[in-house]
Structure 1
Amino acid sequence: MPNIFNLGGEGKNAAFKKDIIKYFVANGNSTIQELAKDTLLSVPTVTKAVTELIELGYIVEYGKQETSEGRRPILYGLNPESGFFVGVEIKVDFINLGLMNFRGDMVELDDNVPCRVDNTMESVEELCRLVKQFIDKSEVDKSRIQNIMFCISGRVNSATGYSHTLYNFSEQPLTRLLSDILGYRVDIENDTRAFAYGEYTKGVVRGERDVLFINASWGLGLGIIVDGELYRGKSGFAGEFGHTHMFDNDILCHCGKKGCLETEASGSAMQRIVRRRIEEGETSFLTSHTGDIYSLESIIEAINDEDPLCIDVVEHIGQRLGESVANLINLFNPELVVIGGVLSRAGDFLLQAVGASVRKYSLSIVNRDTRLCLSKLNERGGIIGTCMLARKSILD
């Protein structure tokens, strides 16, 4: 398998070159003077390392920096062709596939590719066939594909390579199984954490380092970013927000317990409540629709068409969700809380309800420094974050 960090040299020299690459990833194109200033190293030392990285093909010149006086310094940055990363976002019955270059630009994207997703070897083989097909049709140098990252819902331990919810039929790590079939390095991550990282790197984040990402889709997940790094917990299972016990109800959650937050504040809850109220005789635009009138897509469309019943339901969901988000704000004191996932497409109908509960139930001295907003990346957040994490895994 190819290795992007054949940087030449050993010890401190190779480590320093790697740090320079990380600097360009984080800051974009820069001059040697800026790089020397930020790394607290001499200009000759930085110049030597940058020159070696240019010779290795990882860094290229991007012209001269505009300046009002003096000699214009040369801008350097990552060579986009020096490495590529594949992201695979696994959904209920389809997958999204992305190919990203070393600079972080999406080169190719295939959405909504039908795929059998279940806990069998046949499903894994079909998944790998689709990934191979996606790679084969791309025009990039296949030898420069450094990593394939799969994001999966449920309990995922990215450190050990095991998925404990999906594809957990084998004693060997899922990463090893997939790598053996595909012939590339493979990593896995929880889908909400991937979405959170996508939003952090390419979405609404404006310099914040402590961020909570709420994935409000069929279920309810939480991505936690502390000081710019994903927080995974001891076993990689941090963020099971939807399975916190909140209600004294008899609604059975898919985790097997009753009273979970997810049973009253999620896409599955919204579907159940809308269905019940219509079956009890309430009026909705949905009854005139064709197809699956109770799908989340149909309900979201009805909300944005200002259907009174669906708006009432999403506001109820938002209030319940906001009560728990208020608890998170009291616990974490984050700079930013992002609401994403399918339900975020309800826009201000959801956000205003969440915000009202946050103001009501969290401490004002805590929440006044927290910005609450909707996802910018929408449905693209998961695949973007998965590709970005494929690169981050190599860099780390």
Structure 2
Amino acid sequence: MNTNFLLSSDSNNRSELLKKKIIHYYIANGDATIADLGREMDLSVPTVTKLVTELQEDSYILDFGKQDTNGGRKPNIYGLNPASGYFVGVDMLKDKLNMAAIDFKGDKVQLEENVPYELKNTPASFDEFCRIIEDFIVSLPIERNKILAVGVNISGRVNPVSGYSYSIFYFDEKPLAQILEERLQAKVFIENDSRAMTYGEYMKGVVQGEKNILFINMAWGLGLGIIVDGNLYYGRSGFSGEFGHFCMFDNEVLCHCGKKGCLETEASGSAFHRILTERHREGSNTILAGKLDSGKEISLGDLLEAVRKEDVLCIEILEQMGFNLGKGIAGLMNLFNPELVILGGTLSLAGEYISLPIKSAIRKYSLNLVNQDTEIKISRLGERAGAIGACLLSRSKLLGMIRY
């Protein structure tokens, strides 16, 4: 199989660009005839036929035979060959990894969730990170050379063009993406986790044709993914979406960014944990008292389970957090006027316990006409959004479909 044109960055090779556009068309629209492609790409039938034939020879395109039509000559229909290549996605969370693999058409091949991993900004933690990814790749029912790219999600400030992460594993002068490529022996793209989750929902989740979207990633931290006119918005250096660091509160809580008053200090998983601990010390009751008293680690799963068991204190804290967050989202809506706001990340699994106070604050603080334009939905992919999004983004980046 010839993979050179996929890996090539030569923007002057017209034939290679057209081949990538054909694959992009099939990804976006599904199977089609040569006539359909010609009309969409404004190319002659002989030109499209030549390109599709070369893609068939390289095993990227399959001929599915004659298409059923009402009389007349039946055209052949073509589509992507799912086995022509595979993509791996890795979503890094505070205490676990979620990993996935998809085929060339974007269908899931394997998903491994909740792999234990303690994220620390140390070389040893990085070595363990690489080992877990390598073990996952080896476990796949796929030949190693069929893996065309690996996508790795990292929270915080990530420059996907330069390949540097400035939030974690910034030990070396070489870009993190390059170091990972050397360790994993595969093409690697790094990406901000919220943006990858946004792309996962856009391609395979709750999005139904909307082109202007905000994705709120509610986990230990607070992130934002932005899609404008169907394209991910990156900003100048890939640092867009730092929603959690809106300065919204006159408090003395130090955010992990080093500043005080950030939205994240009153509306995130870390805020939930801190406020619960403070309220318990002040005498409030909670079913998590035993863990708090013993100093045992409390996960987001523990906090959500307490909410589901109708722990009054946890529900009260979550509702206030939701209202705080909704106030911030209202500001985003007034600014972007989106068609859709998606509530995602681990805390979105709380369902209406968090979505109702968010919506209440949005109604109170957003402009009425803007509010009427925007639908609010819970993520369909849930905690799988990051790993699936990393897979899909690595495919799109390899094909040159992402505009930075």
Q: Same fold by TM-score, threshold 0.5 exceeded?
A: yes
Shift of 1:131: 2.0
Cα pair distance change 1:207/1:125, threshold 3 Å: same
Q: Distance in 2 between matches of 1:357 and 1:18?
A: 44
Are 2:379 and 1:383 equivalent residues in the alignment?
Answer: no
Shift of 1:44: 3.2
Alignment correspondent of 2:164: 162
- What whole-Å deviation, never above 9, does each CA across 1:111-147 have from its counterpart, x for those lacking one? 2223343223333222222222222222212112111
Q: Is the 8 A contact 2:252 2:261 kept in 1?
A: yes
Alignment correspondent of 1:336: 340
Match among 349, 354, 363 for residue 345 of structure 1: 349
Cα pair distance change 1:331/1:345, threshold 3 Å: same
Q: Is the 8 A contact 2:196 2:386 kept in 1?
A: yes
1:89 counterpart letter in structure 2: D
- What whole-Å deviation, never above 9, does each CA across 1:58-112 have from its counterpart, x for those lacking one? 1012354454555544331111111111112122233222221111112122222
Q: What SS does the aligned partner of 1:62 have?
A: strand
User: Which deviates further from its counterpart, 103-112 or 218-227?
Assistant: 103-112
- What whole-Å deviation, never above 9, does each CA across 1:280-331 have from its counterpart, x for those lacking one? 3334444488995953212212222333332222111111001010000011
Cα pair distance change 1:162/1:7, threshold 3 Å: closer
Are 2:305 and 1:317 equivalent residues in the alignment?
Answer: no
Q: Distance in 2 between matches of 1:368 and 1:315?
A: 23
Are 2:2 and 1:5 equivalent residues in the alignment?
Answer: no
Alignment correspondent of 1:362: 366
Q: What SS does the aligned partner of 1:149 have?
A: strand
Q: Distance in 1 between matches of 2:179 and 2:380?
A: 34
Q: Is the 8 A contact 1:275 1:294 kept in 2?
A: no
Alignment correspondent of 1:196: 198
Alignment correspondent of 2:308: 304
- What whole-Å deviation, never above 9, does each CA across 1:334-379 have from its counterpart, x for those lacking one? 1111111111011012111111111111111112111111111001
Q: Distance in 1 between matches of 2:384 and 2:182?
A: 28
Q: Distance in 1 between matches of 2:270 and 2:194?
A: 17
Cα pair distance change 1:186/1:73, threshold 3 Å: same
Q: What is the TM-score with the length of structure 2 in the denominator? A: 0.91
Cα pair distance change 1:332/1:110, threshold 3 Å: same
Q: What is the TM-score with the length of structure 1 in the denominator? A: 0.93
Q: Distance in 1 between matches of 2:238 and 2:223?
A: 13
> Gaps (5+ residues) in structure 2?
none
Cα pair distance change 1:116/1:261, threshold 3 Å: closer
Cα pair distance change 1:299/1:121, threshold 3 Å: closer
Alignment correspondent of 2:146: 144
Q: Distance in 1 between matches of 2:117 and 2:309?
A: 31
Q: What SS does the aligned partner of 2:32 have?
A: coil
Q: What SS does the aligned partner of 2:50 have?
A: helix
User: Which deviates further from its counterpart, 108-117 or 198-207?
Assistant: 108-117
Q: Distance in 1 between matches of 2:73 and 2:262?
A: 63
Alignment correspondent of 2:376: 372
Q: Distance in 1 between matches of 2:99 and 2:53?
A: 35
What does 1:107-256 correspond to in 2, within 5 Å? 107-256=109-258
> Gaps (5+ residues) in structure 1?
none
Percent identity of equivalent pairs: 51
Shift of 1:255: 1.3
Query: What is the aligned residue count?
Result: 395
User: Which deviates further from its counterpart, 131-140 or 186-195?
Assistant: 131-140
Q: Is the 8 A contact 1:7 1:53 kept in 2?
A: no
Alignment correspondent of 1:62: 64
Cα pair distance change 1:222/1:68, threshold 3 Å: same
